[in-house]
Amino acid sequence: MERVEPQEIPKYETYLELTKKVDFILLQFTDLLGYLKGRTIPAEQAKEALMEGVTFDGSSMIGGATIEDSDMIMKPDPTTFTVCPHYFYDKSVASFICDIKGPDGKQFEDDSRYILRTAMERMLTEGYQATAAAELEFYLVKRNEQGEVEPVENHIIDKQRYFDNSPGRDVTESYRMELSTVLSTMGITVERQHHEVGSAQNEITV
């Protein structure tokens, strides 16, 4: 596989310093079905993982390699370093998104991240600019005494809740504030958040 030359090492130093502040590191990639896959390493193994990658059995992955070429490599992208909220795992954990390489160190062409990158580059060469946006809405719910799921604000008769933010009516504001803090910790910028029309319906824009 391709090895990192000595002159390339300094670009990893910043990320290596960051990894010293956590206990474990998640190395992740998205498979062809859209699920996060990967493995976990102790933070002490960060340098080797960043420089050489971590091997795994690609033949056991949907859309992966054949059994003859099963020794694939997860190569962390240093710029994707993200700190996970402590209560996710009750430990100090960070993550890197990885590119998938073949056993020879070359890019695995069925890597979903590589497919997206290639499509984006082709669009740019054809004069198009890719734009994507997501409007994230969700409900906060609880289980009642009968075990049924209902909105946390179901006790309020008035259903027209759009833009409510008074403490007596909007009991979801504190959750959205906490969510904003967590996303900020992970490096995700929250532009705004508010109560939507339905009971306990929320929207957050990132």
49, HSE (Cβ side, Cα atoms, 13 Å): 30
Q: Are strands 136-139 and 141-143 parallel, antiparallel or unpaired?
A: unpaired
> Is 144 among the domain residues?
yes
Provide the mean pLDDT of the chain.
84
pLDDT of residue 69: 58
Q: Is the confidence at residue 120, as pLDDT, over 90?
A: yes
Domain end: 100, 125, 150, which one?
Answer: 125
Contact 99, 107 (CB under 8 A): yes
Same domain for 108 and 25: yes
Domain boundary among the residues 67, 90, 125 is at 125
Domain-embedded: residue 1: no
Sign of CA dihedral 155, 158, 163, 167: negative
Same domain, residue pair 112 and 10: yes
- Looking at the structure, tell me whether residues 77 and 155 fall in a common domain: no
- pLDDT for the residue numbered 8: 44
Query: Which region, left, alpha or beta, applies to residue 187 given φ > 0 means left and ψ of -120 to 50 means alpha?
Result: left
At residue 192, the pLDDT reads 92
Scanning the structure block, which residue is given the tokens 């289980």?
A: 143
* Assigned domain for 154 exists: yes
Q: Which residue reads 């957050």 in tokens?
A: 204
In the chain, the number of structural domains is 2
pLDDT at 113: 92
Report the distance separating Cα 145 and Cα 131, nearest Å.
46
Same-domain pairing of 22 and 98: yes
> Does residue 88 sit within a domain?
yes
Predicted confidence at residue 155, as pLDDT, reads 64
Tell me which residue range forms the domain holding 56.
6-125
Q: What is the pLDDT of residue 62?
A: 66
Asked which of 73, 94, 125 is the last residue of a domain, the reply is 125
Residues 143 and 193 in one domain: yes
The one-letter amino acid code at 93 reads V
Are 99 and 119 within one domain? Answer: yes
Same domain membership, residue 114 and residue 64: yes
CA 136 to chain centre: 15
Enumerate the β-bridge partners of residue 136. 204
Whether 14 and 94 map to the same domain: the answer is yes
DSSP secondary structure letter of residue 152? T
pLDDT higher at 117 or 68: 117
**pLDDT above 50: residue 10:** no
Cα gap 77→1, rounded to integer Å: 17
Instruction: Find the CATH number of the domain harbouring 72.
Output: 3.10.20.70
SS3 content of the chain, % helix, strand, coil (to 5): 30, 25, 45
pLDDT at 165: 80
Label residue 191 by pLDDT band (50, 70, 90).
Answer: very high
131 lies in some domain? no
**Within a domain: 185:** yes
